[in-house]
């Protein structure tokens, strides 16, 4: 195996990608936060809330969602009242002539990542925020009920005032208001509650839109890096799959050549070593069979000379046995020669190959025809594929008297089918007949039973081309041999 380059370990590459992704996402988040202006909160003034309570009709505030009024049987508790909350309740009570004790306010400002900090002037009136620590913004001390207490959402003056950056049109007024989501309920004499709250909306708030923007930008920035890393990680796996397929077709295929991380290089080296061991194993076994078959010819020749002195009735039987042994040896040598011969792959048209084999069989008196011949081109060894088709046609003529051939395509596979009208094969032997020297025909006459290597050669050649061969008994009688080869 040639090593084109050894990269960083896969662990370090994955760690680097994760780290780079986190850094990129944080940088984008920081850029969005510091570039875009903070989203203003939704404001609901005391006068707008009281108008909704008095009329019972929806009211559209100037700086928030529509206020709706509903009747409910229960109202959750809003917790202890801070000075601002108590002041706001008192203002609502005075406006609608209800005791503050019958008013309950539940506030929810949601996530506070993007809540604007307000500055407020001191308000000089009893119970207001003019006392010590009376800063009126939601981020000031006056926005809490005490040290460590919950955040309050009540402000007694709208700021920033006119003229400052971010100010809203219109004059500023000393009017209490509440920002964010809330529920304000007034207990009725029958125990029920009249509740005013902002109309629920399925739209995204400003801070939610910014979070989504950060997410989208982070994905766009990281997606190319993730794609490159995934492709770099998948390439060796794809190469391993292709190399394994080549190894199944030809143990003498070129070794796997990869570059990448240390883990990939180690796996490629192990794969190439395995391929080399398999190749040597197959070659050693094949060479041993060829050597045995070749060496048997010498004693057979001596036996042929020695039987000349035997009686005629014995000589004929011994000569037949010797002829059969020589035929088996010749078939074994041919099998070894075909399996060890280097394959020469070229473009081949299967219909023409089948028609030429059938025509040659018909010229010698065989009942061979081609019923279907689609023009399908594959890449293969012409000599090996011709022998594959010849063996199938000869078997059909020998055992089934006729041979009918077809070539068609099925998906990405080319199909060669040879039918005959013979007795078929017992189902238990449909796969065993592909074993070398196995003969389904019980007689030991090689004229009728053959040597037992024809179908073994067919399967070996089909699998060497990345395909396979199967046998099946046809319902109407006879046998069908089906060869599948990749297009």
Helix then strand then coil, in percent of the chain rounded to 5, is: 45, 15, 35
pLDDT mean over 222-230? 80
Q: How does pLDDT run across 68-91, given as a tens digit for each residue?
A: 999 998 888 877 888 888 888 888
**Where is 193: in which H helix or E strand?**
strand 193-198
pLDDT of residue 114: 33
Residue pair 179/155 in contact by the 8 Å Cβ criterion: yes
* Model confidence pLDDT, tens digit, residues 264-309: 778 888 888 888 887 777 777 777 777 777 777 778 778 877 787 7
Task: Share the mean pLDDT of the chain.
Answer: 75
Cis peptide bond upstream of 160, omega within 30: yes
For residue 439, the model assigns a pLDDT of 65
Question: What is the average per-residue pLDDT within 388-399?
Answer: 89
Higher pLDDT, 448 or 184: 184
Ranges 114-118, 238-242, 330-334, 389-393, most confident: 389-393
How many other CB atoms sit within 10 Å of the CB of residue 117? Answer: 11
pLDDT: which is higher, 405 or 162: 405
Q: Tell me, what's the pLDDT at 154?
A: 59
DSSP annotation of 168 reads P
pLDDT score at 194: 92
Sheet with 367-373: list strands edge to edge.
367-373, 402-410, 413-419, 479-486, 468-473
CA dist., res. 216 & res. 197, Å (int): 32
* pLDDT tens readout for residues 158-177: 444 444 444 444 444 567 88
CA–CA separation, 298 and 285 (whole Å): 21
SS (H, E, C) 219-262: HHHHHHHHHHHHHHHHHHHHHHHHHHHHHHHCCCCCCCCCCECH
Nearest to 193 by CA among 98, 108, 107, 109: 98
* Percent of the chain surpassing pLDDT 90: 10
pLDDT over 90 (residue 212): no
Place of tokens 């399908």: 376
Residue with the larger pLDDT of the pair 92 and 151: 92
Phi-psi region of 282 (alpha: psi -120 to 50; beta: other; left: phi over 0): alpha
Q: Given this model, what pLDDT does residue 122 score?
A: 32
Residue 193 has pLDDT above 90, yes or no: yes
Six token digits for residue 300: 């057979």
Structure token pair of residue 359: 């025509």
User: Across residues 229-238, what is the average pLDDT?
Assistant: 77
Hey, what are 110's tokens?
């949601």
Can you give the pLDDT at residue 138?
Answer: 38
């Amino acid at each position: 195996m040639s090593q084109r380059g050894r990269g960083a370990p896969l662990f370090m590459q994955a760690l680097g990608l994760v780290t780079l992704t986190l850094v990129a996402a944080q940088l984008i988040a920081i850029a969005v936060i510091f570039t875009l202006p903070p989203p203003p909160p939704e404001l609901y003034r005391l006068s707008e809330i009281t108008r909704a309570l008095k009329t019972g009709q929806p009211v559209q505030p100037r700086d928030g969602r529509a206020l709706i009024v509903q009747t409910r049987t229960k109202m959750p508790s809003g917790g202890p009242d801070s000075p601002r909350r108590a002041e706001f309740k008192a203002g609502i009570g005075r406006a609608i002539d209800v005791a503050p004790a019958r008013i309950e306010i539940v506030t929810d400002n949601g996530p506070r990542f993007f809540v604007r900090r307000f500055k407020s002037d001191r308000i000089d009136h009893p119970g207001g925020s003019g006392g010590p620590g009376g800063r009126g913004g939601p981020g000031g001390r006056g926005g809490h009920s005490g040290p460590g207490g919950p955040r309050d959402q009540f402000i007694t003056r709208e700021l920033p005032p006119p003229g400052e950056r971010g100010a809203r049109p219109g004059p500023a007024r000393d009017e209490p208001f509440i920002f964010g989501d809330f529920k304000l309920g007034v207990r009725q004499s029958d125990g029920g509650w009249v509740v005013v709250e902002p109309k629920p909306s399925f739209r995204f708030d400003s801070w939610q839109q910014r979070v989504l923007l950060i997410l989208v930008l982070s994905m766009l920035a990281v997606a190319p890096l993730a794609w490159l890393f995934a492709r770099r990680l998948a390439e060796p796996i794809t190469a391993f799959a292709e190399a394994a397929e080549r190894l199944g077709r030809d143990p003498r295929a070129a070794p796997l050549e990869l570059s990448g991380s240390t883990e990939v290089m180690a796996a490629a080296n192990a794969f190439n070593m395995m391929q080399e061991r398999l190749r040597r194993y197959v070659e050693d076994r094949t060479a041993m069979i060829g050597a045995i078959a070749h060496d048997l010819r010498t004693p057979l020749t001596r036996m042929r000379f020695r039987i000349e002195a035997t009686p005629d009735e014995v000589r004929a039987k011994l000569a037949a046995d010797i002829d059969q042994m020589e035929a088996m040896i010749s078939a074994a040598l041919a099998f070894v020669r075909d399996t060890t011969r280097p394959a020469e792959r070229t473009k081949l048209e299967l219909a023409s190959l089948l028609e030429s084999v059938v025509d040659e069989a018909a010229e010698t008196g065989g009942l061979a025809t081609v019923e279907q011949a689609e023009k399908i081109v594959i890449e293969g060894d012409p000599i090996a594929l011709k022998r594959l088709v010849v063996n199938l046609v000869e078997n059909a003529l020998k055992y089934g008297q006729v041979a009918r051939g077809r070539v068609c395509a099925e998906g990405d596979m080319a199909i060669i089918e040879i039918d005959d009208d013979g007795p078929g094969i017992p189902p238990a032997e449909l796969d065993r007949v592909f074993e070398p020297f196995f003969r389904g025909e019980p007689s030991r006459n090689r004229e009728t039973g053959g040597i037992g290597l024809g179908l073994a050669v067919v399967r070996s050649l089909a699998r060497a081309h990345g395909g396979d061969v199967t046998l099946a008994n046809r319902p109407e009688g006879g046998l069908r041999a089906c060869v599948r080869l990749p297009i």
